[in-house]
Amino acid sequence: YVQSTLRRRPGYRTLERDLIQLQQQQLFQIFVVVSLRKGSSGNTYSPEITQQFPKMFEKSSRLSREAEDQLNVIPKFCFPDAQDWKPSAQMPSETFSFVLTGEDGSRWFCYCRKILPSGKGKRLPEVHCIVSKLGCFDLFAKILEEVERRREMSAALVYPFMRSVMEAPFPAPGRTVTVKSFLPGSGNEVLTLCRPVDSRLEHVDFGSLLQCVSVGKLLQVFASLLLERRVIFVADKLSVLSRCSHAALALLYPFTWQHTFVPVLPASMLDISCSPTPFLIGVLAPCLPQLLELPIEEVLIVDLCADRFVVQLGDEDCILPSKLQAALQQILEDREEILRQQDGDSSGDQQAGLSALVSEAFVRFFVELVGHYPHHMVESSNGIKELQRDNFRKSHPSRGVRQLLQLFMDTQMFAGFIQDKELRKGGGRGLFEMRAAAYLDSYPEPEPCGVNKFLKGLGNKMKLLQIK
């Protein structure tokens, strides 16, 4: 499945298109339980789907080959380290996620919770996995916790609950949906699920990324992704890999990663890291020695546990324009002080504030980098808008920005972004378009980049953030 995804030419995707396609969807498409079964040798285990809801999904005549491929590959991603497991009497539960990419570029988010079933003696863990088109980690983590609570009482309580979840209406951003289900001893219970207002950050946890990677190294990772290089994250926990991978790609907004994205790569698929195409891949720490033996060219390998680069090209710190990089670094290093000046007290408020701060900082970076693009969109005789590429790049007064643009304009991310602007006729404006418009109102022509101008522009936006 992953190899076929690597071979296809990625279609251009944009966040706006993804969000439009989510309308009128169910909360999730399928729920499976993945268990470990002893292999033929008797000493190793292999993962397989042991339960599935809805069951008719498997037998439907309309089931596409792609959906079958996804079902077949899910167990490997639920237990990427299946060969290392042994029965255990105790094990902390863990929530993580991975993403499956369709041939048309669509993405299926797979939310998982690994638990040790209730019982006595040593037991093998199982993974509950929800497959959805909606990227919203916290919402599905809450559902999975309820699944675990019911599983501890009786496996028979899981299916009725998931049926109630599937029948619940798909919530709009900022709206809540209630799920009613019966629980023995408690009667009817009501679970309230809330979808965040900001759809861009629904599956993003910047806090985990900043805890694992120092600011200087994070900006080098960002620069590598910006030029669509190959990046591998290494960590000892599935949850760390999935959270950090999603957060790293979220930094690229308003651009959308067009290439291979595998937050947790199964050990049996390590050779995929030898692909010559761009990727962001997560690998569990025990696989690192084997990974380093592979002939991987031009890659940045980041050890999230030790905050170090295992392998790097060496130029990562020279990609971003120096003044923009200095401004980003100052904001991220001073994030705690900036957030203290806000009025948020609870941990939820702090997390929302951090997400808003980090998001606005990188949006401001892209506003400084490409925010002047509307000045260079020219309508041709056939009514189609086209970007005057040379004028767009050369018009920026900063030599460092012009150098970065020369490289960045050759990426598929940039091509997809501009194609979306060229094809769009009217319609609503996203956050980036609003920030770019405000930037152009303040600076009709691009001005030399400076830390103070960057910070002032960001500060004006932060005043608008309502952190309650």
Last residue of a domain, one of 141, 169, 197: 169
Which range has the worst mean pLDDT, 123-137, 161-175, 302-316?
161-175
Q: Residue 444's pLDDT is what?
A: 59
Give the CA angle between residues 112, 116, 118 to the nearest 5°: 125
In a domain, 269, yes or no: yes
Q: Clarify whether residues 36 and 106 are in a common domain.
A: yes
In a domain, 179, yes or no: no
CA distance 244 to 358: 14
Q: Clarify whether residues 133 and 27 are in a common domain.
A: yes
- Could you tell me the maximum CA-CA distance found in the chain, to the nearest angstrom? 75
CA distance 77 to 85: 14
Give the CA angle between residues 356, 359, 365 to the nearest 5°: 140
Q: Residue 464's pLDDT is what?
A: 39
Last residue of a domain, one of 318, 351, 383: 318
Pair 246, 252: CB distance under 8 Å: no
Q: Clarify whether residues 83 and 159 are in a common domain.
A: yes
CA distance 101 to 107: 5
Q: Clarify whether residues 52 and 148 are in a common domain.
A: yes
Q: What is the CATH number of the domain that holds 56?
A: 3.30.450.200
Q: Clarify whether residues 226 and 312 are in a common domain.
A: yes
In a domain, 20, yes or no: yes
Q: Clarify whether residues 299 and 250 are in a common domain.
A: yes
Confidence of residue 368 (pLDDT cuts 50, 70, 90): very high
Q: Clarify whether residues 39 and 17 are in a common domain.
A: yes
Q: Residue 76's pLDDT is what?
A: 93
Residue 171 gets which letter from DSSP? P
In a domain, 94, yes or no: yes
Last residue of a domain, one of 318, 337, 368: 318
The per-residue pLDDT for range 103-123, each reduced to its tens digit, is 666 788 999 999 999 888 899
Q: How far is CA 291 from CA 46, 161, 267, 273, in A?
A: 21, 41, 9, 8
Q: Clarify whether residues 287 and 351 are in a common domain.
A: no
In a domain, 342, yes or no: yes
Q: Clarify whether residues 281 and 387 are in a common domain.
A: no
Q: Residue 194's pLDDT is what?
A: 81
Residue 330 gets which letter from DSSP? H
Tokens coding 87: 């029965």
Average pLDDT over residues 291-316: 96
The closest alpha carbon to 19, from 107, 104, 100, 97, belongs to: 107
In a domain, 189, yes or no: no
Percent of the chain with pLDDT over 70: 81
Which pTM was predicted?
0.82
Q: Clarify whether residues 56 and 159 are in a common domain.
A: yes
Q: Please name the amino acid found at residue 86.
A: K
Q: How far is CA 343 from CA 302, 331, 465, in A?
A: 35, 18, 11
Q: 145: domain range?
A: 2-169
CA distance 22 to 12: 17
In a domain, 338, yes or no: yes
Percent of the chain with pLDDT over 90: 49
CA distance 64 to 68: 6
**Helix/strand/coil (H/E/C) assignment for every residue in 55-110:** CHHHHCCCCCHHHHHHHHHHHHHHCCCHHHCCCECCCCCEEEEEEEECCCCCEEEE
Which range has the worst mean pLDDT, 273-277, 378-382, 425-429?
425-429
Q: Residue 199's pLDDT is what?
A: 63
Average pLDDT of every residue of the chain: 83
Average pLDDT over residues 292-313: 96
- The count of structural domains within the chain is 3
Which secondary-structure segment (H or E) carries 225? Answer: helix 215-226
Pair 263, 99: CB distance under 8 Å: yes
Q: What is the CATH number of the domain that holds 282?
A: 3.40.50.11500
Q: Clarify whether residues 127 and 19 are in a common domain.
A: yes
Average pLDDT over residues 152-170: 88
Indicate whether 399 pLDDT > 90: yes
Cβ within 8 Å of residue 287, ≥6 positions away: 81, 234, 267, 270
For 395-417, b/e burial (b = at least 16 CB within 10 A) is ebebebbeebbeebbebbbbebb
Indicate whether 265 pLDDT > 70: yes
Indicate whether 321 pLDDT > 90: yes
29-43, 192-206, 423-437: which has the highest mean pLDDT?
29-43
CA distance 30 to 191: 19
Q: Please name the amino acid found at residue 318.
A: C
In a domain, 294, yes or no: yes
The per-residue pLDDT for range 46-95, each reduced to its tens digit, is 999 999 988 755 444 444 566 677 788 999 999 998 888 888 999 999 99
Q: Clarify whether residues 365 and 456 are in a common domain.
A: yes
